[in-house]
Structures are given as C-alpha cells and as structure tokens.
Amino acid sequence: MHALILLKLFYWTTAEGLHYYNPTYPAQVLTFLPAKINIGIYVYAMWKMCKFGLRIAKLLNTYKEVCIFSISLNKKFTNNLKITNMRTNEFKEWLQIKFPDTKTTVNNRISNCNHVEKYYGDLDTHYTENKCSYIIDELNYSTEDERKNASQRHKVPIDGNIRNGSATLKLAVKLYVEFRENQNELLGDDLIFHEEVIEEVNSDGAIILQEIRKHLSAFNYKKITHNDIAVLQLELTDFLNEKLKRFTWKTEHRPSLTIKDSIDIFGLTDDNKFKIVIELDAHRADQVAKKFISRSALFINDNIIYLSICYPGTSKMNKNECIKYFDYCAIISRALSDSSGNSKLYAGIILE
C-alpha cells in the first residue's frame, strides 16, 4: 500500500505521468508505468520505499521487544513483591516475647499474616473496621465442613488440608488482633481479688484432672512437627476434642473483655462447673510462674483446673527448676481453694 502511494506521487509530479494519467478511472490508484517514465525515478522510488519499509519493520520489532521485556519485568516484580502493610517489626517483637524460644513460630505467624494480606489487604485496616472479625469468620472451617468436603469460604489458597491450613491462618490473624489490642489498651482494673484462703480441694475437680492427665499421657508429641507451637496447639486441641468429648475445647480464649490476655487452650465441662486452663510454654520456671499468676488472677472466682504443658526448650533452660515450680504452683492452688466450692487444681506436664 505504501509503495503504491509513493509511486503515485512520483508519477503525478512528472509531465509523463500527468500525460498518461487516465481520469476515467477515479478509483484507480496507479496504472502500470508507461515506457516513457524515467526509469531512474522508478528505481529511486523503489529504493526509498524499501528503505522506509525496513525502518518501519525495525521500529516495530524494537517495540515488540520492549513490550515483551516490560511484561516480563512487571511479572517478576509482582511475583517478588512482599506486602508489608501490617506493623511487621512491632508484631515480630511482640511474638518474640510471647514465644521467646520458638523462632520458627514467630516467623511462621508473620508469614501467615503476610499471606492473608495478599488476598484481603492491610490487616490494620481490617482491625480498624471490625477487629478483623470478617476475615476470622471467613477462615472458619469446621470438622463438619471437612467431613462434607465443603469448599472453603475464604480467599486464601490452601496447599494441603483445608481445615488445618485455615485454622493456622485464623490463629495468626487472631494473634495479630491480640497484638494490636495490647498495643492500644492498658491493663484494666476490673479484677476482684479474693482474699480468703482455705485449703480444700473439690473431689470432682480432682477426678477431672486425673482424667485429663491420663489422656494427655497418650498424646504423641513430635519434636520436629511440634516445633511450631501453633501446630502443637491445634493438634493438642483436636486430640482433646476427640478423647474428651464431654468437654468443650477451643484455642485463644479471652476470659475478660478488658484484659487482652488469651488462653492457649480453654476447656469447659458439660455442666459448666469447671473451667480448664491449659498454657503451652517452654520448660522455663519464669514462664510457668508468670502465666500461673496471671491466669489465677483472671479466674479468681471460678472453679479452675490449670495445666502447664511444657515443651522442650533450649539446653540452657533448667528442667529441674521448672519441675520445682510445678510443685510451688500446686501448693498455691490448694491455698486458693475456698470452702464455698471454688476449687483450684494444678498440674504440670513436660512433653518429651
């Protein structure tokens, strides 16, 4: 097309071309060149036409290469993009305090939250709007859903077991919510400390404690798998739900709306008479003591059965000292029991 137009222009600008142009064919772009046209003009026109065509082809090829490179670069940048909308550094510091001897757990929970953000956006925005309740609700996937092979409701792809994967992501988001609330609010003052001290242990509670300890002794602790404390928490909760079905078990229970502490595993008897508090810690005496004091205060007016379940810590941690503090916690629990029926029982278990 470009060649025909160029030849036409050259043809019309010569006397020979004007003489031989046929006006009776207005749609005719160009008749075959007559013998009278200067062959030099024809050759020159063809040369310019070919040169122009080569330049156009070269430009088009360069543009194509630039587009392909741009698309490739954009894909590479997008794939390597790390979303860090949430308060990653502060969250990491908070997790390191909560899980001081489990670097794997800290890194995994941050990774879980980052993964959720890729599909739901900034967790801080969701926290401001509804404390991430919308995401947490969508991440619910029950054993009944698993039995029915139901599709997941949330947007995050799960590579593997849907229920376990969803529960892990849900736990991570709930930990981030707990972190934000601990950042934003000071310790409340709604605790009522019970001053009466009577050493009486409710026999019903002792029977329940014995039953729980018996079943926990059969739990298969896997050091490598359970190095991630979130996995240990979920599998231990599933184990308790399977073995002790007359109890209601759940993770990350918050006993107070004012105080933002949460219980690792919380159980409730079918008659609602006893509350079972299970805390997971490395076998460090100070961690055991700290959790015991705070939880005893939170449930000061309740019948509670408290269990410290300790997983192996570092070689620098004194396991014998931890066992000694188990005894101290049991003594204090008996002292906190009162004659009105409020029973406080304690047991310490080390997983090996």
CATH for 203-350? 3.40.1350
For residues 303 and 345, the answer to whether their CB atoms sit within 8 Å is no
Percent of the chain residues topping a pLDDT of 90: 39
Helices (H), the chain: 2-12, 15-20, 39-80, 88-98, 103-120, 123-130, 133-138, 143-147, 162-184, 203-216, 229-243, 285-298, 319-336
Report residue 84 as tokens. 């860090």
- Domain extents in the chain: 2-80, 88-184, 203-350
Q: What's the mean pLDDT in 201-219?
A: 83
Highest averaged pLDDT of the listed ranges 41-45, 123-127, 179-183? 123-127
Q: What is the pLDDT of residues 139-192, one digit of tens each?
A: 999 989 999 999 999 999 999 999 999 999 999 999 999 888 877 653 333 322
The torsion of the CA quartet 25, 28, 31, 36, rounded to 10 degrees, works out to 60
pLDDT score of 70: 44
| Chain length of the chain | 352
Identity of the highest mean pLDDT range in 19-28, 41-50, 307-316: 307-316
